C-alpha cells in the first residue's frame, strides 16, 4: 500500500495515535503524516503510506484552512482549552472592534509560537521543555494569513475561518487577537478543513479505515 490517505482526526487523540490506529486497522507498518494536529483539534490529516512517506516534506508546506473558536476574557497557559485559565478582562468588545482587530492580521505577520508547540528547541520538542518546567526562548517567524473571516460572535465565543501559510500557529493567532482586543483569548476549538487542494469533506473517519482503504496518488507539489 503506497499513497496518500485523507483522515478525519477525532477529538482527544494525538497525531501519533492516528498512525498507531491505522497500522492496526490496515496492517501497514510504514505510515507517516504531513502535519500534526493537537489532541484538542480535529479535522483533516494527510496520511502517507509506504513510499509516499517521501513526499511528507513537500505536503507539509501546503497552505491550510481552519475553522477556529476563540474564548475571550482570559488567557491560557498553553494557548488552548487544555491549560490553566488566567482571567484578563470582563470587557465585552463590540462586533466592530472584533472586525477591526481581525483586519490587523491579514497578510504577512510575525508570530511567536507557543512553548507548548512541537517545534524543536535544542533537539527536543518545545512542549517537553515546558512540561519539565524549563524556560526556553521561542524564535519568532514570518507567516501569512490569506483570509481571516468572522463567522459568528456571541461573547465570550468568537468563531472564525482562516486560511494561512504552513507554519502558522492558530493558538498564537488567538492569543494575539486577544491582546489587540485587550481582553485576552485562547483557542477553545479548532477544525482543519483544508490542506492545499485536499478537503475534509473527502476524508474518512478514522474508525472506518481498514485494509480495503483506497489510497490516492500523491500529486507533485
38 is catalytic: yes
Nearest to 137 by CA among 148, 145, 126, 147: 126
220 domain residue, yes or no: no
Q: Structurally, how many domains does the chain consist of?
A: 2
13 class by beta-carbon count within 10 Å (0-12 exposed, 13-18 middle, 19+ buried): middle
- For residue 169, pLDDT over 60 is answered with yes
221 domain residue, yes or no: no
Query: 33-50: per-residue pLDDT in tens?
Result: 999 999 999 999 999 999
CATH number of residue 41's parent domain: 3.30.70
Same domain as 29, residue 69: no
Nearest to 63 by CA among 151, 145, 170, 179: 145
Task: Kindly state the average pLDDT of the residues 142-168.
Answer: 97
Share of the chain above pLDDT 70, in %: 92
Same domain as 94, residue 120: yes
| Structure confidence at residue 112 (pLDDT) | 84
The phi, psi pair for 162, rounded to 5°, reads -145, 145
72 close to 176: Cβ distance less than 8 angstroms: no
Among candidate residues 38, 63, 80, 154, the one labeled active-site is 38
Same domain as 113, residue 39: no
Read off the pTM. 0.90
Query: 89-145: per-residue pLDDT in tens?
Result: 999 999 999 999 999 999 999 998 777 666 777 777 767 776 777 777 777 899 999
Same domain as 187, residue 79: yes
| Structure confidence at residue 113 (pLDDT) | 77
Same domain as 100, residue 47: no
Mean pLDDT of the chain: 90
216 domain residue, yes or no: no
76 domain residue, yes or no: yes
- pLDDT tier for residue 213 given thresholds of 50, 70 and 90: low
| Structure confidence at residue 125 (pLDDT) | 75
Amino acid at each position: 500500500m503506497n499513497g496518500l490517505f485523507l483522515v478525519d482526526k477525532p477529538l482527544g487523540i494525538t497525531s501519533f495515535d492516528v498512525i498507531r490506529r491505522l497500522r492496526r486497522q490496515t496492517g501497514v507498518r510504514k505510515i507517516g503524516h504531513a502535519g500534526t494536529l493537537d489532541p484538542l483539534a480535529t479535522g483533516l490529516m494527510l496520511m502517507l503510506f509506504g513510499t509516499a512517506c517521501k513526499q511528507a516534506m513537500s505536503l507539509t508546506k501546503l497552505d491550510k484552512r481552519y475553522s477556529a473558536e476563540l474564548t475571550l476574557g482570559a488567557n491560557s497557559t498553553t494557548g488552548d482549552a487544555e491549560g490553566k485559565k488566567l482571567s484578563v478582562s470582563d470587557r465585552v468588545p463590540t462586533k466592530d472592534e472584533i472586525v477591526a482587530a481581525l483586519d490587523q492580521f491579514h497578510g504577512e505577520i510575525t508570530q511567536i509560537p507557543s512553548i507548548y508547540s512541537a517545534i524543536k528547541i535544542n533537539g527536543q520538542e518545545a512542549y517537553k521543555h515546558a512540561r519539565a518546567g524549563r524556560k526556553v526562548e521561542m524564535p519568532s517567524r514570518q507567516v501569512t494569513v490569506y483570509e481571516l473571516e468572522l463567522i459568528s460572535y456571541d461573547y465570550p465565543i468568537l468563531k472564525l475561518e482562516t486560511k494561512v501559510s504552513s507554519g502558522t500557529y492558530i493558538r498564537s493567532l488567538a492569543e494575539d487577537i486577544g491582546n489587540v482586543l485587550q481582553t485576552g483569548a485562547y483557542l477553545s476549538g479548532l477544525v482543519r478543513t483544508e490542506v492545499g487542494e485536499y478537503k475534509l469533506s473527502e476524508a474518512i473517519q478514522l474508525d472506518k479505515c481498514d485494509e480495503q482503504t483506497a489510497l490516492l496518488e500523491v500529486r507533485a507539489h
